[in-house]
Amino acid sequence: MKYFDDIAVGDETVFGHYDVTRGEVLEFARKYDPQPFHLSDEAAARTHFGRLSASGWHTCAMTMAVIARYVVDDRQAGLGSPGVDELRWLKPVYPGDRLQVRGAVVEKIPSRSKPHIGVIRTRTMVSNQAGVDVMSFTSIVMMQRRP
């Protein structure tokens, strides 16, 4: 098990990748973000996106899938997250893109009131197959301290 105490500021991780499919883009948009540029090639062509693009919230969900699989496989002692800071959608994400998710630990904060818990802040970057950053945020994750 990997605990709060095993992680250092400056540690970098490549969490993995996610292949964006047209079917998922349309399905997510129909359910959660039914704006025309997420639902129709024709409507998207009339916008700055130029073609069908994924919702930013869908990009967040795909990123979470990558991170969650990594955390489970790496056996990290995570306790959930109170949120994220500084979420930015930098460039559109399109069907056919391969997203890569990476992060760097920027801060560790041991809890004063709960000594068995610490908080890790990670600057998370998501890029496409061309290496262009498409999304960034700072994640805040609670982790168990080493027993």
pLDDT in tens, 75-103: 889 999 999 999 999 999 999 999 999 99
What is residue 45's predicted lDDT score, i.e. its pLDDT? Answer: 94
What is residue 139's predicted lDDT score, i.e. its pLDDT? Answer: 97
pLDDT in tens, 3-21: 999 999 999 999 999 999 9
pLDDT in tens, 115-139: 999 999 999 999 999 999 999 999 9
- Tell me the CATH number at 123: 3.10.129.10
With the CA atoms of 69, 73, 74 and 78 taken in that order, what torsion angle do they form, in degrees rounded to the nearest 10?
A: 60
Give the global pTM.
0.93
* Range of the structural domain that residue 117 is part of: 4-144
For the chain, what is the domain count? 1
What is residue 102's predicted lDDT score, i.e. its pLDDT? Answer: 98
pLDDT band with cut points at 50, 70 and 90 for residue 74 = confident
For residue 113, give the 3-state DSSP assignment: coil
Q: How many CB atoms lie within 10 A of CB 49?
A: 16
pLDDT at 50 over 90: yes
What is residue 147's predicted lDDT score, i.e. its pLDDT? Answer: 87
With the CA atoms of 69, 74, 77 and 81 taken in that order, what torsion angle do they form, in degrees rounded to the nearest 10?
A: -30
pLDDT in tens, 19-40: 999 999 999 999 999 999 999 9
